[in-house]
Amino acid sequence: MPPHRRLLATALASALLAAGCASTTTGSVATDGRSRSQLLLVSSETVTQQSMQYYNEQNAEARQDGTLITSGPEYQRVYKVMQRLVPQVATFRPDAARWPWQLVLINEDTVNAHVMAGGKITFYTGLIRKLKLTDDEIAAVMGHEMAHALREHSREKMSQSAAGDLAVSIGGALLGLGSGATQMASMGKQLALDLPFSRSMESEADLYGLELAARAGYDPRAAVTLWQKMAQLGGGGGPAFMSTHPASADRIAALQASVPRVIPLYEAARMQR
């Protein structure tokens, strides 16, 4: 490779490494206090804007379809869990306690929940009804979704994807690769980097969520029963290496190993209630 090309490639690698030396939160008890560095090339404002656009569109569609639940016993049950967890986010990042956390409950059979940047959480009734979730299990889901927001995983994933695409594009140009070779390199990047990185985020959210639930006085062992129910329903099926989520067995094992670390937090919270 000519010297000027090597210099450009080195500069790109250095810039990406420098950008990766940030972390949105402190570590979790469930992760032994470790806090992973994150690649954050995309601004929080950009991610929040995009998230709010999707969030508003989702709510408008659900409202039009008559599936948006904003009151009643089922809504209040999930909302109460969220309200107990919100004060605990300050453990990981004080600013998050001031976020405008919001809950959306949608009356659909979908077994799912998700979160938008800044604390906009969506639950689907299918998740609660089909799995017959206890309040502790709802807290496990809620903690997991809140952890995604705290760790800004959407922002990190967008940054990781942008950096990878840029590296593949520049690398192809520097090496004089044709479009076919560059496309193959991009597919390789997705299998080797994007998918495992997504699985890493899911595992991380599991552990941070475990601590959030425990600190709020919800039994962290419910995270294990939650994923046992998911496994019975078929959640987490398929080859783990091709999935953005960990295999159910791996997930359950990791949670079981981490529960003892947060049990003291749960017991202390229960004593105070």
Q: Which helix (H) or strand (E) holds 115?
A: strand 113-116
Q: Are 230 and 182 in contact (CB under 8 A)?
A: no
Cβ–Cβ < 8 Å for 194, 200: no
Strand spans (E) along 26-77: 68-69
Q: Identify the helix (H) or strand (E) that includes residue 122.
A: strand 120-124
The tokens of 83 are what?
């309200």
Cα–Cα nearest to 85, from 255, 267, 269 = 269
Cα–Cα–Cα angle for 195, 200, 202, rounded to 5 degrees? 95
CA 7, distance to chain mean position in Å, is 36
CB 273 within 8 A of CB 217: yes
Yes or no: say if 212 and 146 are a contact pair by the CB < 8 Å rule.
yes
Please say if 145 is a catalytic residue: yes
Measured distance CA(11)–CA(91) in Å, rounded: 37
**Residue 138 and residue 219 in contact, taking contact as beta carbons nearer than 8 Å:** no
Instruction: Kindly name the residue from 145, 202, 204, 211 that is annotated as catalytic.
Output: 145
Q: Give the active site residues.
A: 145
